[in-house]
Structure 1
Amino acid sequence: MCLLNLIVRLSYVDHTQDVSHTGRVVELKNYVRGLLLDSSGPLTKVELINHLQRLGVGYLFEEEIRTVLDAIWKGKDIEIENDLHATALRFRILRQNGYDASIDYFNSFIDEMGSFKACLCEDTKGLLSLYEASYLAFPGETRMDEAKAFAKRHLKDRKGKIDTRFEEQVDHAFELPIHYRMLRLEARWYIDMCEKDETMDPVILELAKLDYNILQASYQKDVQNGSFPTMYYRWWRQLGLVEKLPFIRDRWLECYLFSLSITYEPQYGYGREVLNKVNQMITLLDDTYDVYGTVEELELFTDAIDRWDTSAIKQLPEYMRTSFLALLNFGNDLGYDTLKDQGWDVIPCVGKLDEIARGDVPKSIQCYMHEANVSEAIAREHIRGIIDETWKEMNKEYVTDHVFPRAFADAAVGLAQRAECVYVNGDGFGRNQSNSEINGQVMSLVVEPIPINNV
């Protein structure tokens, strides 16, 4: 979908109900806040937090969720410890929220041989929770690798023996686990799933729908008001790079979704604008290094970026001059705004975009196929293993005290989650922009609201 078509679609969107919906959300939030702070048991609270976070409204209750998890983290509960689903869910929710939950939680489910007990093989709900929890493992936690293999093997055996709705959840997990999924896309999918669940609290579901639409409306207003992302797109087009450099990918929609995965809250529109520009600049540089430039030209280009000086343009071939000036002007503008507003000098960091772009010249799968003389399937499995180990390192760092604020860690995880969604079925970024999957995601996240007349 091109930007023009997107704007035309949004020009017919009516936001007159936004105010009334916002008022209703306040009422619903008070109801949910009461549920979080009542006297119900730990398992009820953990399941509630799981629903809220998967429905995309966890950010509305960060303080209350932290209070509840602090208590669960410090306490013990027999109801949880004797149930595989409850134990695995508690483990995942704690680690997902920055608590260093121990794998010893699973000790009661291990037999005398050190394996998961055979009696668990028909506990479908517990197996699915265990499978999802296994993706929150740290480096060296082989028990969680065993948990993943055990759960996946027996879930496959249960296929055809469970109800359709639960089988859909299993297939969803096998495609990508919760921990690897983009938050807003997962929220949209989970809202649909919860509508099929007769035990779901309709008030919570109503809140999730209204909040989803309110966030979506904030993105739509940005487009309609000619600010972000329209202003960004106008900036990109006015550079003239797409016309002058036909070898570069025009990936406006894809860059937009990457930005939305890093920071989706409505108050961070400027951050998404900057991230979009950064992503498109990285794409420009990547295509220059990886597709078009000769070695000699790229050496000159790299030197010019290192010098970060307009006089360096004289040494560049004609087609590189526009790219270099676009990067230089963008970096200097961003540096000025950041220094003025935040007091930080980020110009040296902008120059690092060049290093990022140059880092992927030999594609990892192709490189390993050549080095190890193996098939593409084996190479993909090997690279997948490296990615999974990197996730384990991220999981460990996420629960470790460090100098970076939690918002920065969340942004890093969000970026990795978007990458998983893009590349789960191949190179979703490199394919042509008419890709139906990307268009479907844009329609879901930005264009089409969730019907609420039946809540």
Structure 2
Amino acid sequence: MAATSPNDLASFYSSAWGYHFLSYHVFKQFTKQDGKSKETLTNDVQGLLSLYEASHMRVRDEEILEEALTFTTTHLKSIHNDSLKVEVTEALSQPIRMTSPRVGARKYISIYENNDAHNYLLLKFAKLDFNMLQKLHQSDLTRWWKDLDYANKYPYARDRLVECYFWILGVYFEPTYSRARKKMTEIIQMASFFDDTFDAYATFDELVAFNNAIQR
């Protein structure tokens, strides 16, 4: 595979890594003989940022990407490019690999919107996609949660619906998995309910009977 910049290669690595193992040696062209990253990489801030993001895809003993992470982190912290400052700061705070996909998308939409070179139509479709999926996520929860009347029936228990649902969004955010999101949220919320029942509601004798019933 031929790549002309860290930006091109990092983007390819990040996208391909999830489907099959891709050797980190493809980044060797950006290192010197002593294994250190080439200083010339600092001339391409966008490429440096992409290399930083790709380095978070590394696994154990990938020395080139370990070095790339250290190198890019050090230099990105000293970036004063106003047009990329917000994006760099966000990346250093929370790399894409460590961000929930939809949260990352929301943050990037705002960053991209402030880029003078943004594509208006692309930005419009990105916002439309985000809002439509957000509406679906909201509809996943509304009816069954209201029917449970949870807050009135179990006032001692924490209402952790949004928190539990957010966990599942890290696994299933696509529209197709609406049923999976609802079922997994129900399970986690129920586990939280049991936890609060043990911690803040029932007596010891009641909990013994309750635990026996669950075990059966």
How does the TM-score come out when normalised to structure 1? 0.42
Runs of 5+ unmatched residues, structure 2: none
Distance 1:112 1:295 in 2: 68
Distance 2:184 2:81 in 1: 43
Is the aligned partner of 1:105 residue 2:23? no
Equivalent position SS for 2:78: helix
Distance 2:68 2:212 in 1: 50
Partner of 1:235: 148
Distance 2:35 2:127 in 1: 45
What letter matches 1:87 in structure 2?
Answer: L
Distance 2:166 2:99 in 1: 13
Is the aligned partner of 1:152 residue 2:61? no
Match of residue 14, structure 2, among 92, 102, 115: 92
1:232 touches 1:273 (CA, 8 Å); kept in 2? no
2:25 touches 2:64 (CA, 8 Å); kept in 1? no
Partner of 2:112: 194
Q: Structure 1 pair 85/267, CA: closer, same or farther in 2 (3 Å)?
A: closer
User: 1:127 offset after TM fit, Å?
Assistant: 1.8
User: 1:238 offset after TM fit, Å?
Assistant: 7.6
Query: More relative contact order in 1 or in 2 (CA 8 Å, sep 6+)?
Result: 1
How does the TM-score come out when normalised to structure 2? 0.83
Distance 1:292 1:150 in 2: 53
Distance 2:204 2:37 in 1: 55
Distance 1:294 1:145 in 2: 53
Partner of 1:31: none
Distance 1:142 1:302 in 2: 50
Distance 2:168 2:12 in 1: 30
Match of residue 276, structure 1, among 185, 206, 210: 185
What is the percentage of aligned positions where both structures have the same residue?
32
User: 1:87 offset after TM fit, Å?
Assistant: 1.7
What letter matches 2:16 in structure 1?
Answer: L
Distance 2:57 2:195 in 1: 32
Q: Could you give the per-residue CA deviations for residues 159-207 of structure 1, whole angstroms, max 9, x where no partner exists? A: xx212x3110111111111111111222222222222223333332222
Distance 1:235 1:288 in 2: 17
Equivalent position SS for 2:77: helix
Q: Structure 1 pair 112/142, CA: closer, same or farther in 2 (3 Å)?
A: closer
Q: In the TM superposition, what are the counterparts of 1:172-321 in structure 2 within 5 Å? A: 172-219=90-137, 222=139, 228-235=141-148, 237=150, 240-241=153-154, 243=155, 246=156, 248-287=157-196, 302-307=211-216
What's the Cα RMSD here? 2.9
Distance 1:153 1:90 in 2: 23
1:130 touches 1:147 (CA, 8 Å); kept in 2? yes
Aligned length: 216
Partner of 2:59: 138
User: 1:120 offset after TM fit, Å?
Assistant: 2.3
User: 1:292 offset after TM fit, Å?
Assistant: 7.6
Runs of 5+ unmatched residues, structure 1: 1-75, 308-455
Partner of 1:124: 45
